[in-house]
Amino acid sequence: VTAATLGAGPVAVVIVRDGILPAGASEAVEAAAHRALVVGSGARTAAAELPAGEGCWWTETSGQFSPAVLAGQLAALLAATPLVVLPGSPDGRDLAPRLADRLDRPLLAAATAIALHGEDDSLTIDAELLRMDGRQTLPARCREPAVATLVPPGHRHEQGPAAACQPLEVSLPTVEALADPTLIAIQEPRPETMDLADATRIFGGGAGLVSSGTDDRSAAAIFDRLRAVATALGAAAGATRVVTDAGWLPYDRQIGTTGVSVQPELYVAFGVSGASQHTGGLGAPAHIVSVNTDPSCPMTARADLGLITDASSLLAELARRYGVADD
Ligand SMILES: Cc1cc2nc3c(=O)[nH]c(=O)nc-3n(C[C@H](O)[C@H](O)[C@H](O)COP(=O)(O)OP(=O)(O)OC[C@H]3O[C@@H](n4cnc5c(N)ncnc54)[C@H](O)[C@@H]3O)c2cc1C
């Protein structure tokens, strides 16, 4: 396999660990005209799972993920490739800027959509780029070869059958030694800061946590308490749009059709009515607990356990019992 083979069209570069595909891998391959280069441990097995019907290559690497060395190696292979798309997974986001630098190309980071038109002199890449903490999508047009990262969709991709294409092995060229970071330790994500989409337990807060007439500062303190209680129980804090619109929690905590799509095993809803725009991003949790004064609201109707009580008082009691009360 040569740089010319890989240069015949766009290519998705997918980094795998232990054969596990990162979130957004299939979407990146679809955006790259169904052509994929899979790199990492277990690359061969992972390659067979991708919808890469137009070309699929794999290369097995062992040991520590070395993005600087890998960028140097891949740059040699991808020199003629007009568009390189990486899933916006942690490894993809690490590798993409290094690859763009080695290839001396622009980086289209955090694209939600990307398309390549034409070739050589008429080459155009159109992308939608997510900016301002995900609140704005900006159109971008690039008239030269580029590297892009594609934001993984919040929901887990329904894995369709992999397109029939025999993955081919590629060997990586040897490059001069490049300085790579040294891995000291891998730590589990902290529930209070982890991506909501990755959380297996979520405590969601809605307007019912805040009684009318409460000022913004006191309301924000209630949501600090929600975060603290959630963290104490190994959960991430989420919210409805009413809450994020009011600025009581940041936008990246909003669950729903215009927020993050999540897939927790447990969802505990405090004062959440369960509007379709909220539950539309909730996935299918195995367990739902709804704390609400209205026994017939949609969230409680959907719950395994409905607690008909004042959500804020229950939260305060939980904070006290778990030793995270702020007063
Ligand atoms: C285009 C569009 C996109 C949208 N996208 C999203 C989205 O992505 N995510 C999202 O969440 N919303 C979204 N919304 C808004 C959505 O329609 C709802 O308005 C919102 O989800 C309601 O939030 P809530 O449950 O916090 O508030 P409310 O609907 O006001 O519900 C408050 C709940 O609290 C209960 N309650 C009241 N007092 C107490 C108390 N003391 N103790 C316990 N419970 C109490 C009430 O019974 C009620 O069930 C969108 C709307 C539109 C039009």
pLDDT tens-digit series, residues 6-60: 988 999 999 999 999 998 899 999 999 999 999 999 999 999 999 999 999 999 9
Does residue 168 register a pLDDT over 80?
Answer: yes
Which of the four pLDDT bands, split at 50, 70 and 90, describes residue 150? very high
Helix axes 311-321, 216-232, angle to 10 degrees: 50
Least confident among 1-5, 20-24, 54-58, 198-202: 1-5
What is the mean pLDDT of the segment spanning 178-182?
A: 82
Q: What is the pLDDT of residue 157?
A: 43
Contact in structure between 77 and 66 (CB atoms under 8 Å): no
Residues 6+ apart with CB under 8 A from 31: 10, 12, 85, 113, 114, 115, 150
Q: What is the pLDDT of residue 163?
A: 59
Among 122, 124, 106, which Cα is nearest to 114's? 124
Q: Is the CB of 73 under 6 A from ligand 1?
A: no
Q: pTM of the prediction?
A: 0.68
- Write the single-letter amino acid at 270: F
For ligand 1, the distance from its centroid to the CA atom of residue 204, given in whole angstroms, is 11
Q: How far apart are CA 102 and CA 326, in angstroms?
A: 50
What is the mean pLDDT of the segment spanning 80-84?
A: 96
Contact in structure between 306 and 240 (CB atoms under 8 Å): no
Tell me what the pLDDT averaged over the chain comes to: 91
- Best residue among 272, 282, 291 to mutate for probing ligand 1's pocket (most ligand atoms within 8 Å of CB) is 272
Host H or E run for residue 99: helix 90-103
**Which ligand 1 atom is nearest residue 299's CA?**
49
Could you tell me what percent of the chain has a pLDDT over 70? 96
For ligand 1, the distance from its centroid to the CA atom of residue 118, given in whole angstroms, is 46
